[in-house]
Structures are given as C-alpha cells and as structure tokens.
Amino acid sequence: MVQLDPHKLPVHLAVIMDGNGRWAQQRMLKRIVGHQRGAETVKMVVEQSSLLGIKYLTLFAFSSENWSRPMLEVRALMTLLKKYIRQETARMMRKNIRYNVIGNRSDLPPDVNETLDEAIRKTAGNDGMVLTLALSYGGRQELCRAAVRMAEDAASGTLSIGAITPELFGSYLDTGGLPDPDFLIRTSGEMRISNFLLWQLAYTELYFTETNWPDFTINELHKALVDFQSRQRRFGKTSDQILQRGDLSND
Ligand code: IPE
Ligand code: IPE
Ligand code: MG
C-alpha cells in the first residue's frame, strides 16, 4: 500500500464515477451489471473516505443529461439507487455519515424521492462525513436555478444587487454550505467535466485514471490521494509565496 499523509487529505473529495457501461460491455454483460458492480465500488470509496477522515465526499451518480439514456437503463438505475440507499442507511448510521443530495430532485421519481427523504432524515443528526449524491444534477442547470432565486429575492427586496459576491452566489447553489472540492477523481479515461460542479471546481485539483469505476480499488484511491498530496495549490500566488507561507504577500 502506498504511503498516505493523514494530515494532508482533501477536506472535500468529489468523484465522477464513470465507465460502468464499458466495464460490462467488455465482458459481454448488460450495462446494468456494470452499474451493480459500480455500486460495490461506491461502498468501498464511502467506507475508505470516512475511515481516512475525509469530511465531505460528493459522488456524481446521475446527470441531468443521463435522462436521455434508453428508458430501461434509466429505470434500472433508479431502482438500483433506491435499493442502495435502503440497504446502506443502517451502515451510514453506524459510521456517523450524513446524506445530502444535490440536483434537480423534482425530476426524480416519487418513490426515489421518498427513499432519499427518509435517508436524509434518519442521518440528519450524524456529524461525521457528509456524503453528497449528485442526482439529476447538471452544473449549468444549478447555476440557472441559483440565478432565478437571486432574481426573485432581488425583485422581492430581500437581496440587494450590490451584495452579490462570489460567496453570496455560492450560497444560492445546491452546494451552499459545503466547501469547494479540493480534489476531483474521474475514472474510465474520459478527460472532461461533463457538467459537474462547474462553479465549485474553479480551483479543484483534477485526477484522471483509465480504470473503469467497477475496477477502481482501495489501492487506486490511495494512489490518487498520494498524487493529490504532491500538488502545490497556489490559488494564483507564486510558488515562493506558498513556500514562504505568504511572507512575500506584500511585495
Ligand atoms: C457511469 O458509468 C454511471 C452513470 C453515468 C450513471 P456509465 O454508464 O457512463 O459508463 P460508460 O461511460 O457508458 O462506460
Ligand atoms: C457523467 O458521466 C455522469 C455521471 C458519472 C453520473 P457520463 O458517462 O454521463 O458522461 P459523458 O456523457 O460521457 O460525458
Ligand atoms: Mg460514461
């Protein structure tokens, strides 16, 4: 196992879980079998992240654009999601994990929403890791929803236009209250963001691996985190400023 510094972990880890379909198709299996195997990887990543002490884990589970997949695949994914949440809630309680959901929940089937509400309610008092599921989520759609709500508040007089700053804008997003991700992992070799957390990823460190999501292992997760620990996050400053802990910030 690769060496990991427990003091330099991302506070917020985000993951684009990709490659379930290809994993299955390469094995002459139905795509849904890939999603089922992918759910096992989700369990591992949730468990490991919580054990490592990561505070926020956000998983891209179903995008706004995924509604255009064949109806049978969409239905199977919704059924799998419901089953996963139901089965895992007891474990979330034992591990002190709190569920959170981002995305356009009004597009999700009522039974899925009920299952989510129950899981959110049951785990609401847990103060360990926050597990955010991005469901029917698209970054552009989220930005538009935030803009609409800001316009409504401006029209009703509860928001003054001069008060709009990046911080305030961020508080109107579905992720309001969550810190921005420090690290993003995408599996399956695709090097794109696919409409995930467009605003929030502004300064996130990105990591891409060829491995398909069902094959992503504990060792690979650790390898990715070790890679994160080797990065220098400069946020626009110079390398010297970072090394001297900002001593030159007035130069
Ligand atoms: C990710 O795997 C899961 C979802 C998007 C729901 P994919 O289903 O996108 O797998 P590929 O990309 O087709 O292999
Ligand atoms: C992104 O994966 C969405 C999720 C992982 C849920 P996709 O497989 O849908 O992304 P594209 O369409 O290939 O970019
Ligand atoms: Mg995909």
Give the pLDDT band (50/70/90) at residue 1.
low
Residues near ligand 1 (Cβ within 6 A):
17-22, 62, 66, 77, 188
* Residue 81 DSSP one-character state: H
N-terminal to C-terminal alpha carbon distance within the chain: 43
For the stretch 11-69, pLDDT in tens is 999 999 999 999 999 999 999 999 999 999 999 999 999 999 999 999 999 999 999 99
Are 158 and 180 in contact by the 8 Å Cβ rule? The answer is no
Nearest ligand 2 atom, CA 61? 6
Nearest ligand 1 atom, CA 61? 6
Phi and psi at 248, nearest 5°, equal -95, 10
Nearest CA, atom 1, ligand 2? 194
Centroid of ligand 1 to alpha carbon of 53 (angstroms): 28
pTM for the full model? 0.96
Pairing state of beta strands 56-63 and 130-137? Answer: parallel
Contacts of residue 165, defined as CB under 8 A and 6 or more positions apart, other chains included, come to: none
Task: Please indicate whether residue 213, judged by its CB atom, sits closer than 6 Å to ligand 2.
Answer: no
Nearest CA, atom 11, ligand 2? 194
Centroid of ligand 2 to alpha carbon of 63 (angstroms): 7
Instruction: Select from 1.10.3720.10, 3.30.365.10, 3.40.50.2000, 3.40.1180.10 the CATH code of 6-245.
Output: 3.40.1180.10
Catalytic residues: 18, 66
Q: How far is CA 220 from the centre of its chain?
A: 18
Task: Please indicate whether residue 66, judged by its CB atom, sits closer than 6 Å to ligand 2.
Answer: yes
For ligand 1, mutation pick of 40, 79, 188 (most atoms within 8 Å of CB): 188
Instruction: Name the strands in the sheet holding 183-186, side by side, starting at the edge strand that comes first in the sequence.
Output: 98-102, 130-137, 56-63, 12-16, 183-186, 205-208
Centroid of ligand 1 to alpha carbon of 224 (angstroms): 20
* Residue 136 DSSP one-character state: E
Centroid of ligand 3 to alpha carbon of 17 (angstroms): 8
Among 78, 89, 155, 154, residue whose Cα is nearest residue 118: 89
| Calpha distance 59→134 (Å, rounded) | 6
- Burial class of 97 by CB neighbour count within 10 A (0 to 12, 13 to 18, 19+): buried
Give residue for tokens 């002190």: 96
Nearest CA, atom 13, ligand 1? 21
For the stretch 227-240, pLDDT in tens is 999 999 999 999 99
Are 39 and 84 in contact by the 8 Å Cβ rule? The answer is yes
Domain boundaries, the chain: 6-245
Nearest CA, atom 14, ligand 2? 194
Number of neighbouring beta carbons within 10 Å of residue 9: 18
Are 67 and 107 in contact by the 8 Å Cβ rule? The answer is yes
Q: Count H helices and E strands in the chain, helices first.
A: 8, 6
Give the pLDDT band (50/70/90) at residue 3.
confident
Give the pLDDT band (50/70/90) at residue 144.
very high
Q: Considering every ligand atom shown, identify the ligand nearest to the alpha carbon of residue 24 and give its number.
A: 1
